[in-house]
């Protein structure tokens, strides 16, 4: 187990390096740069000298390989540098927004799991009955309804039927939990529906597979209570693939809220990402993408560790 | 030998297809409903100029934000454009981008997956590492970055949506191609001295067809959703072209209280289309390959 974990741990780094390279190159192919954009408003009136000076200030006058080297060295020290657009340290730019996106992602995960487990198990137990069909349609619809549109519908319903709008300004949870929840519960529900749909489908199919196993029949045949067989024998084994889906979706949600944040006017990582693209803020973009991809890669590592811990077959393979 | 066949009814290709379709409808009613909605969407897209009551881009300031009525069944938007006509024309955009991106993405992914499995060794390792890297980016983030690089015309949009799908398809196809590589007929083809490309294209690719089709239908809905998301952000299809995601942008949210039809109907259209593709895709998966019943 120890050797496997160490190997798996170090396997993260080539992927991270690959992500860093792809990110760096992709971003530099985007036409235009931050200096050009900053002065695009008063084109012509700015002398070449000023532009060159600004380029030198943000480090764009360096050859590309040098920029890459500087960034990689910074990355290794977990130092993302400063934003090319605002000049502020990137950690500062990201901190609060990360907290917001993380909170929405955590809330959406809670909603998704609370819905998915009972629905998925129920659908599997009642396979091919009307209960199964209703749950399946509910979850296929969850994959189809765009979360940003669901957000619009929530706002509309709150406005028309309750004459109430969620607060527009973000309040950290520890300052005023009530105010904070009143704002963030809606985006969490909007993305949570899709998330729960994915997890419900996985729970259902994993349960169906496990319920066909011999040991379930044995457990039933020896007269164990149905609920005990379900919890101890079936659900425990069906949880592994469900965990993967939940984990991966969670990792992607942190950066993938882009569109939903727009609807609710949330100042999260997604909005920051869209702004960074608009400003060609290379350093901020690189940091954001690395952060999101890094979380995903680390989540996969955690899942593998959890699998090895929970499932002896993985451990000894 | 040929006498043995005499007297047996050999069904023609057409009637076999018809029988298969009938079987599909009877055994998978949900999938058949999905297929019906998809056909309806195709019909709407193809006959858009004939069936839409108004010009989708014609601005009518006299009829701004008109509620649904006999004249404008689904109302008009903030430019006085007929919502129903824009929805009908929007199905063209959704289908072009949806099919374009998912066909390209699934095909390129399948080729990479099969090649990766066939060659094995170092090529496989390199390709897989690269796919791992691409997989680490959330779908929407990668597509957004690509749109920023390429600019937002429809072909560029298709490419931007297609690329994040390639590694997802390659991963699945590779694992089913790995078992095919060990089949005797691939060995035989190799022994016969066929070229690599011939073995990959003629012997391996046809045998991952079921998986390919399943991935393709799953991507269709995702591509339509992604296009709607990008257009909603203002990074996809541009005005005045009618697209469902675009119709939800800006004024639709601003006037949501006074003109809710602007915000509701395009969303219903997106959901219905993706729902239909998913319903059909699910049934197709179950029909083609029960082993793929993982999600």
Q: Cα-flanking dihedrals φ and ψ of residue B177, to 5°?
A: -75, -25
Nearest residue to B94 (alpha-carbon basis) of B262, B279, B278, B222: B222
The region, left, alpha or beta by phi > 0 then psi within -120 to 50, assigned to residue A209 is: alpha
Is B104 within the bounds of a domain? Answer: yes
Question: What is the per-residue pLDDT across A64-85, written as a single tens digit (0 to 9) for each?
Answer: 788 888 888 888 887 888 887 8
pLDDT at A316: 63
Residue B192 placed within a domain: yes
| CATH number for the domain that contains residue B156 | 1.10.3720.10
Please name the member of B225, B256, B266 whose beta carbon is closest to the beta carbon of A156.
B256
Tens-place pLDDT, residues A100-131: 899 999 999 999 999 999 999 999 999 888 99
Determine the pLDDT at residue B107: 94
Q: How does DSSP classify residue B166?
A: H
Q: Which among A198, A208, A289 has the least Cβ separation from residue B141?
A: A289
Secondary structure of A238-267 in HEC code, one letter for each residue: HHHHHHHHHHHHHHHHHHHCHHHHHHHCCC
Tokens standing for residue A10:
């170090």
Across chain A, mean pLDDT equals 85
User: Is B185 a member of any domain?
Assistant: yes
Q: How far apart are CA B111 and CA A71, in angstroms?
A: 35
Task: Of A165-169, A172-176, A225-229, B172-176, give the range with the top mean pLDDT.
Answer: B172-176
Is B269 inside any structural domain? no
- Nearest-Cα residue of chain A relative to residue B267: A149
pTM of the model: 0.87
- Please name every residue paired with B76 in a beta bridge, in sequence order, or none if there are none: B82
Domain-located, residue B50: no
What is the DSSP secondary structure assignment for residue B55, as one 8-state letter? -
Report the gap between the CA of A139 and the closest CA in chain B (Å).
10
Does the residue B20 lie in any domain? no
Distance of residue B125 Cα from the nearest chain A Cα, in angstroms: 12
The DSSP result for B200-227, as a single string, is IIIIIGGGGHHHHHHHHHHHHHHHHHHH
Determine whether the interchain pair A148/B140 forms a contact, defined as Cβ–Cβ distance below 8 Å.
no
pLDDT of residue B4: 47
Assign 3-state DSSP to chain B and report helix, strand, coil percentages, each to 5: 75, 0, 25
Going from the N-terminus, what domains does chain A have, and what CATH number goes with each? 2-76 (no CATH), 96-278 (1.10.3720.10)
Q: Closest chain A residue to B260 measured between Cα atoms?
A: A156
> B233 lies in which domain range?
96-238
ipTM: 0.86
Nearest to B148 among A22, A30, A293 (CB): A30
Instruction: Tell me whether residues B256 and A152 touch, CB distance under 8 A.
Output: yes
Indicate yes or no: CB of B270 within 8 angstroms of CB of A149.
yes
Reported residue count of chain A is 317
Contact B133 A155 (CB under 8 A): no
More confident residue, A255 or B189: B189
d(CA A258, CA A272): 9
Contact B271 A273 (CB under 8 A): no
For residue B289, what pLDDT is reported? Answer: 62
Contact A274 B144 (CB under 8 A): yes
Q: Is residue B152 part of a domain?
A: yes
CA distance A296 to chain B (A): 6
The torsion angles phi and psi of B5, rounded to 5 degrees, stand at: -80, -25
- Tens of pLDDT, residue by residue over A133-150, are 899 999 999 999 999 999
Q: Is residue B61 part of a domain?
A: no
Q: How far apart are the C-alpha atoms of A243 and A309, rounded to whole Å?
A: 13
pLDDT at B5: 47
Distances (CA, A) of A190 to A112, B66, B145, B247: 11, 29, 24, 19
- Hey, are the CB atoms on B145 and A296 less than 8 Å from each other? no
pLDDT in tens, A24-63: 888 888 777 777 777 766 666 677 777 777 777 777 777 8
| A312 band by pLDDT with thresholds 50, 70 and 90 | confident
Contact A277 B148 (CB under 8 A): yes
Q: d(Cα B59, Cα A213) in Å, to the nearest integer?
A: 63
Radius of gyration of chain B (CA): 23
Domain count, chain B: 1
Q: How far is CA A199 from CA A122, A240, A257, A295, B182, in A?
A: 13, 12, 18, 20, 34
First to last CA, chain B: 46
The pLDDT averaged over each successive group of 10 residues in chain B (295 residues) is: 50 76 80 91 91 84 81 82 90 94 95 91 90 88 87 90 93 88 88 89 86 89 93 86 87 76 91 93 78 45
Chains A–B, number of C-beta pairs less than 8 Å apart? 137
């Amino acid at each position: 187990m120890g050797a496997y974990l160490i190997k798996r741990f170090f396997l993260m780094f080539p992927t991270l390096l690959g992500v860093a390279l792809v990110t760096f190159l992709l971003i530099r192919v985007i036409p235009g740069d931050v200096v050009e954009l900053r002065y695009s408003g008063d084109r012509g009136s700015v002398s070449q000298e000023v532009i060159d000076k600004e380029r030198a200030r943000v480090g764009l006058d360096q050859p590309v390989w040098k920029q890459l080297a500087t960034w990689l060295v910074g990355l290794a020290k977990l130092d993302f540098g400063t934003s090319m657009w605002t000049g502020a340290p990137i950690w500062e730019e990201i901190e609060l927004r990360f907290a917001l996106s993380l909170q929405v992602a955590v809330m959406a995960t809670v909603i998704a799991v609370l819905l998915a487990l009972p629905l998925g198990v129920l659908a599997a137990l009642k396979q091919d009955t009307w209960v199964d069909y209703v749950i399946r349609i509910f979850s296929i619809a969850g994959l189809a309804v765009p979360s940003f549109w669901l957000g619009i519908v929530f706002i509309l319903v709150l406005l028309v039927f309750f004459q109430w709008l969620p607060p527009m300004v973000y309040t950290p949870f520890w300052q005023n939990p009530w105010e904070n929840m009143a704002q963030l519960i809606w985006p969490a529900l909007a993305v949570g529906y899709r998330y729960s749909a994915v997890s419900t489908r996985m729970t259902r199919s994993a349960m169906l597979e496990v319920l066909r196993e011999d040991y379930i029949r044995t457990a039933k045949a020896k007269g164990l209570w149905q609920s005990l067989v379900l919890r101890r024998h079936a659900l425990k084994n069906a949880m592994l693939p469900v965990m993967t889906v939940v984990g991966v979706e969670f990792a992607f949600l942190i950066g993938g809220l882009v569109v939903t944040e727009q609807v609710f006017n949330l100042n999260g990582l997604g909005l920051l990402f869209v702004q960074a693209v608009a400003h060609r803020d290379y350093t901020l973009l690189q940091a954001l993408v690395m952060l999101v991809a890094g979380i995903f890669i680390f989540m996969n590592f955690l899942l593998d560790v959890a699998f090895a811990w929970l499932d002896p077959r993985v451990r000894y393979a | 030998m040929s006498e043995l066949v005499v007297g047996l009814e050999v069904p023609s290709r057409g009637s076999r297809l018809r029988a298969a379709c009938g079987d599909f409808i009877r055994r998978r009613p949900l999938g058949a409903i999905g297929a019906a909605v998809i056909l309806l969407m195709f019909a709407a897209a193809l006959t858009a100029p004939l069936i839409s009551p108004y010009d989708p881009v014609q601005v009518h300031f006299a009829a701004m934000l008109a509620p649904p009525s006999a004249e404008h069944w689904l109302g008009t938007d903030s430019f006085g454009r007929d919502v129903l006509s824009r929805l009908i024309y929007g199905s063209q955009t959704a289908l072009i981008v949806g099919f374009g991106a998912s066909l390209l993405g699934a095909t390129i992914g399948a080729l990479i997956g099969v090649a990766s499995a066939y060659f094995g060794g170092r090529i496989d390792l390199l390709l897989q590492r690269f796919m791992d890297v691409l997989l680490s980016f959330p779908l929407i983030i990668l597509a957004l970055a690509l749109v920023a690089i390429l600019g937002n015309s429809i072909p560029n949009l298709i490419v931007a949506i297609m690329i994040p799908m390639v590694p997802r398809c390659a991963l699945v196809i590779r694992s089913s191609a790995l078992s095919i590589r060990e089949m005797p007929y691939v060995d035989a083809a190799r022994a016969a001295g066929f070229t690599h490309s011939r073995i990959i294209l003629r012997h391996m690719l046809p045998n991952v067809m079921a998986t390919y089709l399943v991935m393709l239908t799953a991507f269709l809905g995702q591509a339509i959703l992604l296009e709607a998301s990008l257009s909603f952000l203002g990074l996809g299809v541009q005005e005045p072209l009618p697209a469902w995601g675009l119709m939800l942008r800006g004024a639709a949210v601003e006037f949501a209280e006074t003109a809710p039809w602007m915000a509701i109907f395009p969303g219903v259209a997106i959901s219905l289309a993706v729902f239909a593709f998913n319903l059909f895709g699910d049934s197709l998966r179950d029909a083609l390959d029960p082993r793929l019943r993982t999600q």
